[in-house]
């Protein structure tokens, strides 16, 4: 009998209010855990959308919070991305920049892996922002990451990485069975390319690809609440043969167990977020966020949880039927300098 592993994406509409984001995240993890999920995947910028310098001050605290969440709810947790002021070896990032770091925790709370985004988004997009250049804020990572779990090897990517087939192929060569892609695709680029890119990377690598996206409108500057960035959402799982995999979607705003849940007034039901309220409230920047809470909450949507099963046996059959690695004649060399 085929053994299936249940995964869940928590699709978020993160804003600049870290505490509100933590409540959305914890609610999504709770819903996933109660339904037997083994691994939960969060989007890029899950803990703070915008104000990356501010959020980076909380990197260690949010890393510890994520470890607690994985342990408390008994799941593997791919904690989207967090802006980190130091490199994996502990040295500060040069020129006041940050690393866009994706962290994977096991159900005991141990951090199994850290992947720093290699390909930084630089593009002109036909939206209200126009020009994007992550290189102004972030330093690119330079190391490929594949890590062991009980259900297979996880190769880690982030957002813009999925445009580069060589990365997906190299992760497969390093043994990956599953590729994670926490993302915050703009609405315009997502509408045009998101599904096609996820499907292509799954076919390139013969891995399940998990695209966890931000969705909706985001106020990136609380002092200018009318100026928003829009993300595409449409989180999905793509199997190794290029097919969309879906078992269930739960919208927390409409779920019978949570539809009356007001995310701004239910800390008592979310124990980890309740504890975080003490150290977030101590921040000098927290009063600023409190003053804009009404504006932020206006945009913030309840999370959606998207479930799918990973069928390792079926994936292995796909790989045997089309033996890409045996047929490959070109050598892929990753630039790790």
Q: Give the integer Cα–Cα distance in Å for 10 and 33.
A: 11
| H or E stretch covering 56 | helix 52-56
Contact in structure between 78 and 107 (CB atoms under 8 Å)? no
Rounded to 5 degrees, what are φ and ψ at 233? 70, -130
* Tokens read off for 118: 């290699």
Neighbouring CB atoms inside 10 A of 193's CB total 15
Q: Which residues does the annotation mark as catalytic?
A: 44, 117, 159
Neighbouring CB atoms inside 10 A of 78's CB total 32
Neighbouring CB atoms inside 10 A of 147's CB total 16
| H or E stretch covering 66 | helix 59-73
- For residue 86, give every residue at least 6 positions away whose Cβ sits within 8 Å of its Cβ, in sequence order, or none: 92, 93, 99
Nearest to 233 by CA among 8, 7, 10: 10
């Amino acid at each position: 009998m085929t053994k299936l592993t249940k995964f869940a994406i928590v699709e978020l509409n993160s804003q600049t209010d870290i505490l509100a984001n933590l409540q959305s995240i914890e609610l999504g993890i709770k819903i996933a855990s109660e339904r037997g999920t083994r691994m939960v995947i969060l989007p890029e910028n899950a803990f703070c959308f915008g104000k990356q310098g501010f959020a980076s001050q909380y990197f260690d605290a949010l890393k510890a919070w994520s470890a607690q969440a994985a342990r408390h709810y008994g799941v593997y947790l791919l904690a989207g991305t967090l802006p980190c002021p130091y490199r994996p070896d502990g040295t500060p990032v040069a020129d006041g920049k940050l690393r866009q770091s994706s962290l994977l925790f096991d159900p005991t709370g141990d951090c199994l892996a850290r992947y720093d985004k290699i390909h930084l988004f630089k593009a002109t997009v036909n939206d209200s922002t126009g020009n994007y250049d992550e290189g102004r804020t972030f330093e690119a990572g330079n190391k490929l990451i594949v890590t062991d779990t009980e259900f297979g090897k996880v190769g880690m990517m982030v957002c813009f990485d999925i445009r580069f087939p060589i990365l997906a192929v190299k992760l497969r060569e390093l043994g990956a069975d599953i590729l994670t892609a926490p993302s915050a695709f703009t609405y315009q680029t997502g509408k045009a390319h998101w599904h096609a890119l996820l499907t292509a990377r799954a076919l390139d690598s013969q891995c399940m690809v998990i695209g966890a996206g931000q969705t909706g409108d985001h106020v990136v500057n609380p002092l200018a609440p009318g100026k928003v960035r829009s993300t595409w959402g449409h989180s999905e799982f793509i199997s190794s043969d290029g097919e969309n995999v879906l078992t269930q979607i739960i919208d927390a705003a409409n779920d019978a167990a949570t539809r009356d849940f007001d995310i701004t007034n239910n800390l008592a039901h979310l124990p980890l977020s309740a504890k975080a309220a003490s150290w977030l409230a101590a921040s000098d920047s927290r009063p600023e966020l409190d003053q804009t809470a009404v504006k932020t909450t206006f945009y913030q949507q309840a999370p959606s949880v998207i479930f799918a099963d990973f069928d390792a046996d079926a994936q292995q059959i796909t790989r045997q039927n089309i033996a890409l690695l045996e047929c490959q004649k070109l050598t892929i060399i990753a630039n790790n300098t």
